[in-house]
Structures are given as C-alpha cells and as structure tokens.
C-alpha cells in the first residue's frame, strides 16, 4: 500500500530533499529550511509513520521508504534533486540511489553507515521494537536512543538544543518507531550499490558521534567513486541540529557547485 508523505516545501532553485534521522521527523530540519531556502528549494518529508505521514500496512523495509520518496518527487514535480539523509534518512537515500538513480543529482550522507547491522545491533533494534509495541509508548527510545543522539559539547553547552531533540523523540509515534527499527534491522549492506553511484557525494559525520564513527564515514566515502568527507567539530549524531551553520555551509557549497555543473 503506497502512502503519501507529508512534506514541507520551501524556497526555489535546485531542489534539496532532506531525509530525517530516527526517531525524529522533518521538524529536525528547521535550521536547514531557514538557512538554505533563500538559495535552494528545500523539501523535508516526514518518512512513513513519522510526523504528518501515515504508516500504512506494508512490511518494514528501507526500500519501501525510498519508493515513498520517489513518489513524492513525482507528486511535487521534482525531476532531479540533491538528496541528503541523516542516519536512518541516509539508509533511505542510499536505497534511492540504488533503486531510482535518475532522480539523484548528488547525495549528502550524514552520520550514517553502509554496512548492515551487526547481530547484536539487530537484536537490540528488534527488542526495542517489541517494547515499543508492548508499551505503546516511547520510554525505551528516551532511555536508550536519546542519550546517544547529541555529543557531549551539546549536552554541556546547548541545553535548548538537547531539550528540543528530547521533545522530538517524545513525540514519535510508537508504532512508526517499531516499524522503522524492523526496517533498519532488515537492511542489506550498501557497499556494492554505492560503488555504482555516478553522482558526487558529500559524506559528513560529527566528531563526537558515537553511533556512527569517523571510521564508518570513511568506509562509506571510500566506497563512493566521487565523494568528499567532512567532519563536523563539536557535534554528535545530529550535526544539522547541533552545528547548523557548519552543516548548512557545507551543503550549500556542495549543492551550488552541482547546480552550476548541471545547467
């Protein structure tokens, strides 16, 4: 069953489609909509089940999430876009590159990895999914996921940012979070598909990210034929939220260069 994704669509120019992290929503891209819409058309969808998007009845799958995004392109009249994804959004962006490469003008992969889950990580995701469904609440996400989303600098110096991230986690629908956890646990490694990506890529990672390390980011960049790697100082897993100016500057430079060459 196909679902229609809710998306915020602001600005004009080269389309920049940003896919959010787990367990957040497109609300996490506020600073990108404000900071980049003056130069680009910034589209930030809620992935299925999150924010304003319905969950539907499909089996959990990252590929299904990518197909949702492809249908959104068609609905919005977007023929090609720079596609950015953070964490879970990165998995969806990589799946879109594999399934619908003609839609992708360039790709930004932030705080995400190309490898499949280890057995232990898969087990953790499935246990969390079961607890979400059993309790019909997000207590497990607040206890186990939230502490790893931001870096120590944010915890020490940016109480408002941490509070906002906590609020977004608490607003997550439990059923959608369980579905997404199962989708991520089932995903295949992306290394082979990344070697086929023919467009430029920008790989970014927070210097303080403990969920996806600099080594993960480097392995991802190395698999891509045309990628640059940028490390965001004093940021954990959510660079666009923790260090929006640095993130926006890098993405704007990358997208503007692609816009010039694609004319």
Supply the pLDDT for residue 86: 98
Q: Which residues of the chain have pLDDT under 50?
A: none
Show the beta-strand stretches assigned E in the chain: 7-10, 15-19, 41-45, 81-86, 104-110, 201-206, 227-232
CA-to-CA distance for 72 and 69, rounded, in angstroms?
5
Residue 27's φ and ψ, nearest 5 degrees, are: -60, -25
pLDDT of residue 217: 97
Position 1 scores a pLDDT of 67
Which phi and psi (to 5°) does residue 10 adopt?
-130, 155
In 3D, which of 173, 181, 176, 87 has the Cα closest to residue 125? 181
- pLDDT for 221 equals 97
**What pLDDT is recorded for position 263?**
64
Q: Domain extents for the chain?
A: 7-117+188-261
End-to-end CA distance of the chain: 37
Question: Is the CATH code 3.40.50.1820 the one for domain 7-117+188-261?
Answer: yes
From the list 142, 166, 154, the residue with the least C-alpha distance to 208 is 154
- Give the number of other CB atoms < 10 A from CB of residue 260: 9
pLDDT of 2 reads 79
SS3 of residue 132 by DSSP: helix
How big, in percent rounded to 5, are the helix, strand and coil portions of the chain?
50, 15, 35
| Of 129, 162, 134, 130, the residue nearest 146 (C-alpha) | 162
What is the reported pTM? 0.98
As a whole number of angstroms, the distance between CA 170 and CA 3 comes to 23
Count of residues making up the chain: 263
Are 19 and 86 spatial neighbours (Cβ–Cβ below 8 Å)?
A: yes
CA within 13 Å, CB half, 124: 9
147 with 240: CB under 8 angstroms?
Answer: no
């Amino acid at each position: 069953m196909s679902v229609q994704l809710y998306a915020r669509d602001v600005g004009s120019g080269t389309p920049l489609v940003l896919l959010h992290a787990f367990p957040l929503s497109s609300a996490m891209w506020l600073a990108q909509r404000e900071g980049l819409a003056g130069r680009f058309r910034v589209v930030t969808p809620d992935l299925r089940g999150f924010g304003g998007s319905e969950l539907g009845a499909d089996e959990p799958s990252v590929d299904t999430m990518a197909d949702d995004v492809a249908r959104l392109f068609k609905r919005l009249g977007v023929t090609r876009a720079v596609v950015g994804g953070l964490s879970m959004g990165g998995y969806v962006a990589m799946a879109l590159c594999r399934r619908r490469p003609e839609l992708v003008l360039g790709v930004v992969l932030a705080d995400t990895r190309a490898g499949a889950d280890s057995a232990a990580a898969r087990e953790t995701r499935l246990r969390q999914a079961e607890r979400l469904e059993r309790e019909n609440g997000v207590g497990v996400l607040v206890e186990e996921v939230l502490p790893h989303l931001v870096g120590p600098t944010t915890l020490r110096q940016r109480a408002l940012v941490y509070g906002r991230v906590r609020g977004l986690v608490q607003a997550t629908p439990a059923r959608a979070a369980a579905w997404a956890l199962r989708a991520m646990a089932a995903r295949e490694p992306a290394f082979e598909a990344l070697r086929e990506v023919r467009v430029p890529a920008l790989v970014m990672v927070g210097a303080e990210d403990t969920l996806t390390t600099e080594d993960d980011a480097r392995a991802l960049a190395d698999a891509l034929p045309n990628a640059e790697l940028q490390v965001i100082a004093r940021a954990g897993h959510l660079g666009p939220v923790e260090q929006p100016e640095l993130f926006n500057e890098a993405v704007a430079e990358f997208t503007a260069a692609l816009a010039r060459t694609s004319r």
